[in-house]
């Protein structure tokens, strides 16, 4: 069934489990993602960047996710990832998304809090869940000295915004699949001791499997996996399309690429539902 994110995360917290969030890059993968999670009886968050949401169309995407979820016995949420403009949050809410992320992590703390408060107001008014970010999740190159989230700032942030989930900087990076990151578990532990709001792991692909499980135990109940799914689809596509005759069924070729992504999805589900 199609649902919001907040109750999924609260239940996962009670059970000591994680909810995987998988990035959609194209409409074609949506039914496969929902069905694969249902096969594993795993609640799932399907999420998109603002660019992908605009590429597909907010309403078309939410309709496909809603219809894909309707026949399944698992909760499925559709989440807008890393929106830094309130107008994109509004577009997602109006377009039928059940969850949004406002990312003010580039702003000074006070401004991040006040802009997040505005985003929370928009989400609450429409019964949509909301995630925010405090601290920096890297992109690309691994940096050694890292602007980790300050645990005291996290306490203030959740108290003043009331978000449903908080992304924190513990040294993870987006887009990383060739090497694994050394995350700072001491920072996560300190945040977990002071903050009861479910935390979010961004850049999950670049985190060692054993570390992902520790993150779940330390309060991260939404775990984002994007890059590795994309890599598995594209790797399969290189092989499948590279060897295909031009008159072969596009459907059959795409199913083989989708199957490769589904294998990765199953592995990620096993990782967070232990």
- Give the interface with Zn ion as residue ranges (CB under 5 A): 202
* Rounded distance between C-alpha atoms, residue 66 and residue 171, angstroms: 34
Q: Using the minimum distance from each CB to Zn ion, give the nearer residue, 53 or 240.
A: 53
Instruction: Give, in order, the Cα–Cα distances in Å from 18 to each of 42, 179, 196, 270.
Output: 10, 23, 15, 10
- Closest by CA position to 86, among listed 117, 54, 63, 128: 117
Query: What minimum distance in Å lies between the beta carbon of 202 and Zn ion?
Result: 3
Residue nearest to Zn ion (CB): 202
Q: Is 81 one of the catalytic residues?
A: yes
Query: What minimum distance in Å lies between the beta carbon of 23 and Zn ion?
Result: 9
Q: Using the minimum distance from each CB to Zn ion, give the nearer residue, 221 or 236.
A: 221
Q: Do residues 97 and 62 lie in contact, with contact meaning Cβ atoms separated by under 8 Å? A: yes
- Closest by CA position to 254, among listed 23, 20, 24, 27: 27
Query: What minimum distance in Å lies between the beta carbon of 220 and Zn ion?
Result: 13
Query: What minimum distance in Å lies between the beta carbon of 242 and Zn ion?
Result: 31
Q: Using the minimum distance from each CB to Zn ion, give the nearer residue, 79 or 202.
A: 202
- What spatial distance separates the first Cα and last Cα of the chain, rounded to whole Å? 23
Query: What minimum distance in Å lies between the beta carbon of 103 and Zn ion?
Result: 8
- Closest by CA position to 199, among listed 164, 234, 247, 237: 164
* Rounded distance between C-alpha atoms, residue 251 and residue 159, angstroms: 49
Q: Using the minimum distance from each CB to Zn ion, give the nearer residue, 202 or 221.
A: 202
The structure tokens listed for 31 are 């039914």
Which of the residues 81, 88, 164, 211 is marked catalytic? 81
Kindly give the interhelix angle for 86-94 and 109-125, rounded to the nearest 10 degrees.
20
Q: Using the minimum distance from each CB to Zn ion, give the nearer residue, 99 or 258.
A: 99
List active site positions: 81
């Amino acid at each position: 069934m199609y649902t919001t994110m907040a109750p999924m995360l609260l239940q996962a917290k009670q059970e000591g489990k994680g909810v995987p969030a998988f990035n959609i890059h194209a409409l074609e993968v949506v039914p496969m993602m929902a069905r694969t999670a249902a096969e594993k009886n795993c609640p799932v968050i399907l999420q998109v960047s603002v660019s992908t949401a605009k590429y597909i169309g907010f309403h078309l995407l939410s309709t496909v996710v809603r219809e894909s979820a309707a026949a399944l016995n698992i909760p499925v949420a559709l989440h807008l990832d890393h929106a830094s403009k309130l107008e994109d949050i509004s577009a997602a809410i109006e377009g039928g998304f059940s969850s949004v992320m406002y990312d003010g992590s580039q702003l000074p703390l006070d401004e991040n809090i006040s802009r997040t408060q505005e985003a929370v107001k928009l989400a609450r008014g429409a019964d949509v869940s909301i995630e925010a970010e405090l601290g920096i999740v890297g992109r690309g190159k691994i940096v050694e000295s890292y602007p980790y989230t300050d645990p005291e700032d996290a306490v203030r942030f959740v108290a003043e915004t009331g978000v449903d989930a908080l992304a924190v900087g513990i040294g993870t990076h987006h887009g990383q699949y060739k090497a694994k990151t050394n995350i700072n578990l001491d920072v996560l532990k300190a945040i977990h001791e002071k903050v009861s709001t479910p935390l979010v792991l961004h850049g999950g692909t670049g985190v060692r499997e054993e570390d992902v499980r520790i993150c779940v135990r330390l309060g991260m109940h939404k775990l984002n996996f994007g890059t590795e799914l994309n890599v598995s689809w594209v790797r399969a596509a290189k092989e499948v399309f590279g060897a295909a005759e031009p008159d072969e069924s596009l459907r059959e070729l795409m199913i083989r690429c989708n199957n490769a992504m589904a294998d990765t999805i199953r592995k990620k589900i096993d990782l967070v539902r232990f």
